[in-house]
């Protein structure tokens, strides 16, 4: 198996399967070990996956500060989904002070990286005037960009009822990382609601 041959992407992929119970029984503890191994090996998706476990309290106690560090690592390494999730922490004030300006910058970075959640969440900020001047035209364009598909369209979103969160499932569509020659990305994403009151997630 690629993971045991020292390939961090293989560990990240395997961690994703254990997190979602795809072909194996769900095992968050095993996923934690695999994502940690991938992250330690420099794999951005592994850092993002590990951050998601801490963010959601899957197999570990919820630890937003740890999730913040891991999402930042993922974002810095070019994983656009890590930027989206980091932005959600700032938008929600989870482990950090609420900072819509910082959330906006992170969502923009993710959206520029063709990550659907970043575009959607950025549109939500424009629709509500949070951290930016309210601009429904800009919000509409961002929502349209996500709706139109291509690389910015998520393949599958599954509701996590325990936290009213959506979780991205399925190997994600090709991204810049994939085009550079890596295997299919393995990755879980949080989506803040673009509509409704405050910063509730999709319901």
Structure tokens at 60: 């570990």
Q: Residue range 4-18: average pLDDT?
A: 85
Average pLDDT, the chain: 76
Higher pLDDT, 61 or 198: 61
pLDDT digits (tens, 9 = 90+) for 119-172: 989 999 999 999 999 999 999 999 888 888 644 333 333 333 344 343 333 333
Q: Residue range 101-114: average pLDDT?
A: 93
Query: What pLDDT was estimated at residue 35?
Result: 94
């Amino acid at each position: 198996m690629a993971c045991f041959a020292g390939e961090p992407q293989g560990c990240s992929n395997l961690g994703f399967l254990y997190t979602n119970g795809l072909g194996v029984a769900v095992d968050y503890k095993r996923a934690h070990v695999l994502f940690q191994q991938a992250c330690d090996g420099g794999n951005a998706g592994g850092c993002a996956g590990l951050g998601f476990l801490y963010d959601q309290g899957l197999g570990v106690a919820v630890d937003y500060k740890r999730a913040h560090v891991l999402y930042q690592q993922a974002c810095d390494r070019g994983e656009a989904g890590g930027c989206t999730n980091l932005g959600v922490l700032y938008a929600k004030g989870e482990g950090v002070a609420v900072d819509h300006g910082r959330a906006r910058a992170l969502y923009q970075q993710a959206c520029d990286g063709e990550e659907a959640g970043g575009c959607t969440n950025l549109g939500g900020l424009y629709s509500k005037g949070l951290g930016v001047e309210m601009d429904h035209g800009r919000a509409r364009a961002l929502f349209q960009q996500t709706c139109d598909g291509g690389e910015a369209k998520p393949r599958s979103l599954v509701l996590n009822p325990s936290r009213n969160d959506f979780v991205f499932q399925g190997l994600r569509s090709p991204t810049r990382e994939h085009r550079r020659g890596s295997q299919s990305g393995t990755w879980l994403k949080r989506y803040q609601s673009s509509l409704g009151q405050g910063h509730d997630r999709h319901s």
